[in-house]
Amino acid sequence: MPKLTERPIWRALAAHWRARDAHLRKLFAADPQRGDKYTLEAAGWFLDYSKQRVDDETLRLLLLLAEEAGVAMRRDAMLRGEKINATEKRAVLHVALRAAKDQVIEVDGSDVVPGVYEVLERMAAFATRVREGDWKGHTGKRIRHVVNIGIGGSDLGPVMAYEALRAFSQRDLDIRFVSNVDGADFFEATRDIKPEETLFIVASKTFTTQETMANAHAARAWALAKLKDEAAVEKHFVAVSTNAEKVAEFGIDTANMFGFWDWVGGRYSMDSAIGLSTMLAIGPDNFRAMLDGFHAMDEHFRTAPFAQNMPVLMALIGLWNTNFLGAATQAVLPYANYLKRFPAYLQQLTMESNGKSVTLDGAQIDYDTSAVWWGEPGTNGQHSFYQLIHQGTRLIACDFIGFCDALSPLHEQHDLLMANLFAQSEALAFGKTAEQVRAEGTPEWLVPHRVFAGNRPSNTLLAQTLTPYSLGALVALYEHITFVQGAIWDIDSFDQWGVELGKQLAQKIAAEIAAADDAGLAHDSSTNALVRRYRANRGGRKT
Ligand code: G6Q
């Protein structure tokens, strides 16, 4: 197949972009029904994409692009358990984690769904014991604190879900997260709690990750310093991993290990056993509801025609913004404080998946791949970076996310919150012309400063309430958006070779820092000097 940018459909899209003047003011004026027409519902989510810079022809061409790029074929290959993660030769089956019990999904000829349910049942039995105070610590005390130790995919999903679903959590069970190898993270997470009431979840697919192992050893030492008995590990440590051997080596009884599989990528694992902290917080029934939300979006993605397929449409419009309108970044703006960690979660999902510059065949790419994803909850962002989105020189695509019902009893404030969401997307799309600014009596010298060009594209996503179900559906939506974009860009969305080099160098440098002298340093002159300076000045145990 010719290179993406040389295909007639890509050229047709480029020509279509060049040929048109698509200010959103004009598009809305030309079609009074536009706000109803460009909308869609799926798995409890309503999408309004009318404020995107697209028309029927743009959508027709984009849908053709998806068809010609073989998105449906690739999706079906993923769902069949084919090893579509080509560089790691792995199947990609996060959809199996939320499959219906009677579904059959095979990897290498064996059905993986029964194993998924078996682990879920073990997680549920364990979570129930901890939540009900039945699982006691070594000294017989009830567990009051749970500390999840993990990083990347073994941290970002669990933290995000815990924050998102706090309203559904058992409030007397405090859940904390430690990820950074910076000891400050562990120190602050444990300084005000007692080992006899604390349960550590060591969450690591490989059980070899430097940061997680360093924190897990720190946790072990912290707990045993007080409990003074190796046998305490059994009551205060559980593992979530695919590596039973390493778990046992660390001293955790594999009876207290919850497994998953190599076909679950780290950043696609929050609904596997990696979600144990989530289940401890919200309970097995709510966890099931979250899986059902994921599954509902999976089914929509699998069955809906592309023109009415929410992940496909959002992926295509995102690609239009990135590759044709030149939007280098994608802001995610949840008008829900509980979703404050959602942008950070999405950063890993999207950028680790699609931040690639070679095709599946290893050819260099000459088009942009993943946008830079970022965001903060509204309304806080409005008092910070929105200035640039409204009046800066760069085009920023925005996804607004909101809910009809509040989870707090402060309903009037919820109305204010949502008023802000609607106001922002309106202001971004339509702006304010110089004539409008003048008509307000603005002195001429100030007019240019008060003009808003508008034509800033955004999606608005609305659901009834932030619940485990709607959160699951939302995460699955973005998982599939990421998949569709990766399929069109012809990249491996499921590997992450770009994180390797830094890891290797860090190991080498850690040994050099610990060495008796710096004579053997053989990096470039900058790195050598930095390491020398650090070795000469590091503080040791200053208190
Ligand atoms: C995710 C990545 C990465 C991974 C972490 C933690 O897709 O692979 O973020 O989740 O490096 O890995 P472990 O779970 O093996 O500790």
pLDDT tens column, 46-73: 999 999 999 999 999 999 999 999 999 9
| Strand partners for 333 | 400
**pLDDT category of residue 270 using cuts at 50, 70 and 90:** very high
Encoded amino acid at 47, one letter: L
Q: Rounded to an integer, what distance in angstroms lies between the CA atom of residue 385 and that of residue 336? A: 18
pLDDT tens for 343-382 read 999 999 999 999 999 999 999 999 999 999 999 999 999 9
Angle at 102 between CA 96 and CA 103, to 5 degrees: 40
Nearest CA residue ID for atom 10, ligand 1? 153
For residue 238, what are the CA distances in angstroms to 35, 145, 204? 51, 13, 11
Helix axes 276-303, 310-319, angle to 10 degrees: 90
Tokens for 371?
């946008």
Mean pLDDT value of segment 438-452:
98
Nearest CA residue ID for atom 16, ligand 1? 204
pLDDT tens for 75-105 read 999 999 999 999 999 999 999 999 999 999 9
Q: Rounded to an integer, what distance in angstroms lies between the CA atom of residue 379 and that of residue 466? A: 17
Encoded amino acid at 367, one letter: Y
Atom nearest to 211 CA in ligand 1? 16
Which residues sit with their C-beta closer than 6 Å to ligand 1? 151-154, 204-206, 209, 212, 265-267, 352, 496
Q: Rounded to an integer, what distance in angstroms lies between the CA atom of residue 311 and that of residue 187? A: 41
Taking only Cα atoms into account, the Rg of the chain, rounded to an integer number of angstroms, comes to 25
Tokens for 465?
């309430």
Helix axes 156-164, 468-489, angle to 10 degrees: 140
At which residue do the structure tokens 């065949």 appear? 361
Q: Rounded to an integer, what distance in angstroms lies between the CA atom of residue 511 and that of residue 195? A: 32
> For residue 365, how far is its CA from the centre of ligand 1 (angstroms)?
26
Considering the entire predicted model, what is its pTM?
Answer: 0.97
Tokens for 150?
């993990």
